[in-house]
Amino acid sequence: MRAELILSPTKFLEHAFKTEYPYLAKYETFWEEDGRAISTAVDNAGTPWLKQFDRFGNRIDQICFPPDYWRMLYEGYKVGAIWRGFEHTLRESFMVGYVTSYYDPGLYCPYTVSLSTAAVVAKYAAPDVRARFLTPMLRREGDIWQGATWMTELRGGSDLGATVETAARQDGDRWLLTGDKYFSSNAGAEVAVVAARPEGAPAGVRGLALLVVPKFRADGELNYLVRRLKDKIATRSVPTGEVELRDSEAYLLGEPGHGIYHIMEVLNLSRVSNSMGAAALAHRALADALTFAENRQIFGKALVDQPLMRKQFEDNVETLRQAFALAWESVCLAEEIWREPAPRYSDRFHLFRLITHLAKYWTAEVAVHMAKWAMEVNGGMGTLVEFGVERHLREAMILDIWEGPAHRQILDGIEVMERKGAHKLLLEHLAPHTNDIETMRVRIDGLLTQPQDEKEANAGSLFHDLAAFAAKALKTKYVG
């Protein structure tokens, strides 16, 4: 891969798709001229400050970043992180996300949860609610509303049926929510989608509902409170907090009893974003390694020209190409199925689910690997905060956990194979791009016929190999 494609996310995308993207080139220019410095300052500043009261004692819960943060944040909304997905294609929104995450993976989170919020509001909200919330979320400038997706409570997020304790009671056309959300990314957003359990609903996931919650009540008062912000190792460009819901006004999305489907649609769309973000982070780590290796002289020649180092670069370029291809396949399938109504999903939706689990798993692994390797290439300089290379590893570790860590993707991926036959759809989908379908089919069938505990215990190695297999097969489809 030519150096210019490694050093420019826009040129990489243009090369992959044989198309020029002037809006991305302009956005990349912003990052090179101003955004990188702003992002570094935000990361160095650490956790943002929560100003809970104004001087008169009124609760305001204002989240305070360095002033230029808001300029950096709204640049992405302006270029189309959300509105392009509705006025053009989801793919364009995800390309904005790729360029964003190349420079700041944490900043991609507000765009991710805003897009996921907008998608379910567009699909499932009543017409008046949709007009009220979606219109300001699709603005290009001015008073743009941000979204958020709050599911996780204190006892964790994997088993939502057991851990969601937020209660919902109906009050006319609206609902009132009471509960606490423990990991609330993009705290302070103007609108959030929230998992809750309506009064009288059954236990387990079938009793959950998804509701949309505005920041302000009808009377203008705060509709939710931010108890505190989390002090994280990275992704400091998105505020994550603990949110209190106290008879918070909300509006039901979709039909009663279908909430778990809506929740999973939100999570899966966010997993697609996570995959693109992780691939972009790996890309940036590769770029920083190349910049150093081209300029570092050792034993009479550039580090990049040392045989072992050159081979490592070649291998990691190939790894990036494969990871991007798998992530992009999840984007293309999301574009195809995201408007399908729950629960009447097509086979393509189940294929999307499996590829999304594979992509989220694989790209997160690649991001951690590439970030660690970039630090090694930079040697001692790679461990120093002042040069920014160590930040990639901090960010990568959070991307690995966001929207479900590796074991969650493995178990959910095995489930969609068992229940929906998604592996058969996947192998058929990959067949034009590889000659090794039958070998993989035998391995999958062998795992799925094992006793439950044995199957779960052995799922990791099979899922890892299946992700690598899919990534390699898809590489020629997009990036040659």
- Based on the domain organization, do 296 and 236 belong to the same domain? no
Structure confidence at residue 159 (pLDDT): 85
- Helix (H) / strand (E) containing 40: helix 36-45
Helix, strand and coil in the chain, % to nearest 5: 60, 15, 25
Q: HSE of 74 in the Cβ direction (CA atoms, 13 Å)?
A: 13
d(CA 105, CA 414): 28
**Amino acid letter, 28:** E
Structure confidence at residue 479 (pLDDT): 63
Domain boundary, last residue among 219, 236, 257: 257
pLDDT tens sequence across 124-175: 999 999 999 999 999 999 999 999 999 999 987 788 889 999 999 999 999 9
Structure confidence at residue 1 (pLDDT): 75
- Based on the domain organization, do 374 and 271 belong to the same domain? yes
Tell me the C-alpha to C-alpha distance, in Å, between residue 400 and each of 186, 218, 327, 341, 362. Answer: 18, 39, 14, 29, 9
**Amino acid letter, 282:** A
| % of the chain with per-residue pLDDT over 90 | 96
Domain with residue 177: its CATH number is: 2.40.110.20
Among all chains, which residue has been given the structure tokens 């951690």?
368
What is the reported pTM?
0.97
d(CA 366, CA 324): 10
- Based on the domain organization, do 305 and 401 belong to the same domain? yes
Structure confidence at residue 161 (pLDDT): 87
Using pLDDT thresholds of 50, 70 and 90, give the confidence band for residue 88: very high
Indicate whether 225 belongs to any domain. yes
Which residues are 168's β-sheet partners? 177, 198
Spell out the residues 6+ positions from residue 218 whose beta carbon is closer than 8 angstroms to its own. Answer: 249
d(CA 95, CA 273): 10
- Based on the domain organization, do 229 and 152 belong to the same domain? yes
Domain boundary, last residue among 257, 285, 304: 257
- Based on the domain organization, do 62 and 159 belong to the same domain? no
Domain with residue 107: its CATH number is: 1.10.540
Domain boundary, last residue among 111, 137, 163: 137
Structure confidence at residue 157 (pLDDT): 76
Q: How many structural domains is the chain composed of? A: 3
CA triple 61-115-398, angle to 5 deg: 70
- Helix (H) / strand (E) containing 146: none
Indicate whether 142 belongs to any domain. no
CB 181 within 8 A of CB 153: yes
CB 474 within 8 A of CB 329: yes
Among all chains, which residue has been given the structure tokens 């993976």?
105
- Based on the domain organization, do 309 and 405 belong to the same domain? yes
Domain with residue 326: its CATH number is: 1.20.140.10
Indicate whether 103 belongs to any domain. yes
d(CA 277, CA 107): 10
- Based on the domain organization, do 281 and 430 belong to the same domain? yes
Sign of CA dihedral 207, 130, 98, 374: negative
Cβ neighbours, 10 Å, residue 79:
20
Would strands 240-252 and 301-302 be described as parallel, antiparallel, or unpaired? unpaired
CA triple 126-137-183, angle to 5 deg: 90
- Based on the domain organization, do 132 and 178 belong to the same domain? no
- Based on the domain organization, do 68 and 119 belong to the same domain? yes
- Based on the domain organization, do 274 and 389 belong to the same domain? yes
Which residues are 198's β-sheet partners? 168
Average pLDDT, the chain: 96
pLDDT tens sequence across 412-466: 999 999 999 999 999 999 999 998 999 999 999 999 999 999 999 999 999 999 9
d(CA 16, CA 406): 28
Using pLDDT thresholds of 50, 70 and 90, give the confidence band for residue 480: low
- Based on the domain organization, do 371 and 387 belong to the same domain? yes
Domain that holds residue 87: 3-137
Residue 362 predicted with pLDDT over 60: yes
Using pLDDT thresholds of 50, 70 and 90, give the confidence band for residue 478: confident
- Based on the domain organization, do 50 and 114 belong to the same domain? yes
